[in-house]
Amino acid sequence: MGNLRLSQLAQTLIPSEIVQLGAAIKEKIKAGQHIYNYTIGDFDSSIFPIPGALEANIVEAYHQHKTTYPAADGELVLRKAVSRFIEHHQKVTYHPNEILIASGGRPLIYSVYRTIVDSGDKVIYPVPSWNNNHYAHFTQAEHVVIESTPENDFMPTAAQIKPHLKGATLLALCSPLNPTGTTFHKEELEKICDLVIAENASRGPGEKKLFVMFDQIYWTLTLEDTRHYNPVALRPQMKEYSIFIDGISKAFAATGVRVGWALGPEQVIVKMRGINSHIGSWAPMAEQHATAKFLNDEAAVNDFLKHICNEISYRLNKIYDVFHTLKDEGFSVDAIKPQAAIYLTVQVNLKGKRTSDGKTLEKQTDVTSYLLNEASLALVPFEAFGTKTDSSWYRLSVGCCKKEEIGEMAARLKTALKKLS
């Protein structure tokens, strides 16, 4: 159709970097190559099936013909179950009218941005982080980007955030963080909350408030001694300014079941509900009733969370040990100790190295390709999460990792590293 003119948004939207990387991996798999595919922020359901009780509840709900439109803000039975679940585990109270149900976390994040951010408003977000650059683009916001560092486990600090708060509309935070699997320490999150409270106290009656979008979709998947903290539990006044993004996608390996929820001030939730209604991003009726029944089964929930955290922890720690053994042997790799979620932050710092056929790995994209071609190891570079293109850090996801293949992967990686000079 030639030079077809479309909207400015469509013309300038950047495609998902992870999807583009996935296309190259699929081609290799199609050609018969075995790939250790640690790029996917999802679960292989043959390794991590959803809880049996949840699956049975879904089937039962369909047999009961729960197949009509759900309530715009979510079925009351589910909002009540979410309220109990959050109060029990996180010691914060949200009434059903402060809860919005949607088809996973993505439409809720979109509606937060659409509800709060006007064109030209300042949105503060750290990099690496998942998709905030794209959502800020959707709303034509002014991007205020904070480059977090490995010294702080790639979590943004209060000192980094403070200079940018004046006039900002939204502060987007995530803990446990996608892509790093790291979390906020209590003291640092308290400092950030105090900054937000002070900033809002300084604003006049006609000024917009500064809201915090706190994505905690991975909070149930904390490992060993890691503890999850949330702004409202630490500073109750933050309830006026916080919108939580949450759901069953990662907690119960149920990414395809599509049930998420937002918690926030009722006035904000009502407006988000209106946006979600117009785009039709409801969670299906049957899945809502099934999730409500499952969340109310405390023993089943606890059993599953113990199981999945043990399985994830085993994989993350084994691969962490692989990278640190290689580091101790003198190879230019590193890793941050796993804390939560399904992610390990690893470094592969090979720029400038020469391959056995005399080619130089000049850019980080060359390193990524070398790992894929020589080690059959697929990782997502932090560039896909907004960092500079020369970052040598990667997200490694274990949601599709088979335990018995970790040793094979380690051997392939070591062989590929030894070929470089």
pLDDT tens sequence across 186-220: 999 999 999 999 999 999 988 999 999 999 999 99
* Single-letter amino acid code for the residue at 385: F
CATH 3.40.50.300 for domain 68-297, yes or no, is no
- The pLDDT of residue 230 is 96
Contact 123, 136 (CB under 8 A): yes
The average pLDDT across 5-34 equals: 82
Mean pLDDT of 46-71: 98
What is the mean pLDDT of the segment spanning 282-310?
97
- The Cα 224–Cα 218 span in angstroms is 15
Determine the 3-state secondary structure of 384 from DSSP: helix
pLDDT at 267 over 90: yes
Where in the chain do CATH 3.40.640.10 domains reside?
A: 68-297
Residue 392 CA to residue 411 CA, distance in Å, equals: 21
Query: DSSP letters of 227-239?
Result: ----HHHH-GGGG
The CATH class, in words, for 8-48+303-418 is: alpha beta
Instruction: Give residue-wise pLDDT tens across range 124-149.
Output: 999 999 999 999 999 999 999 999 99
- Quick one: pLDDT band at residue 362, thresholds 50, 70, 90? very high
Query: Phi, psi at residue 57, to the nearest 5°?
Result: -65, -40
What is the model's pLDDT at position 33? 87
Burial class (CB in 10 A: 0-12, 13-18, 19+), 1: exposed
pLDDT bin (cut points 50, 70, 90) of residue 26 is: confident
> In which band, very low, low, confident or very high, does the pLDDT at 1 lie, cut at 50, 70 and 90?
low
Residue from 259, 261, 263 nearest 288 by CA: 259
Rounded mean pLDDT of 267-294?
A: 97
pLDDT of residue 24: 78
pLDDT, residue 4, reads 86
More confident residue, 113 or 17: 113
User: pLDDT averaged over the chain?
Assistant: 95
Mean pLDDT is lowest, of 73-87, 98-112, 238-252, 347-361, for 347-361
Confidence check: pLDDT of 324 > 60: yes
Mean pLDDT of 352-365: 91
- Of 217, 267, 209, nearest in space to 238 by CA: 209
As a whole-number percent, the residues of the chain with pLDDT over 70 amount to 100
Looking up tokens 């929930």 gives 301
Q: Who's near 2: CB < 8 A, 6+ residues apart?
A: none
What's the whole-number mean pLDDT along residues 13-31?
79
Residue carrying the six token digits 């296309």: 23
Counting residues of the chain whose pLDDT is more than 90, the rounded percentage is 89
Structure letter (DSSP) for residue 216: -
Residue 2 has what pLDDT? 62
Domain with CATH 3.90.1150.10 in the chain: 8-48+303-418
And the tokens for 375? 């080690």
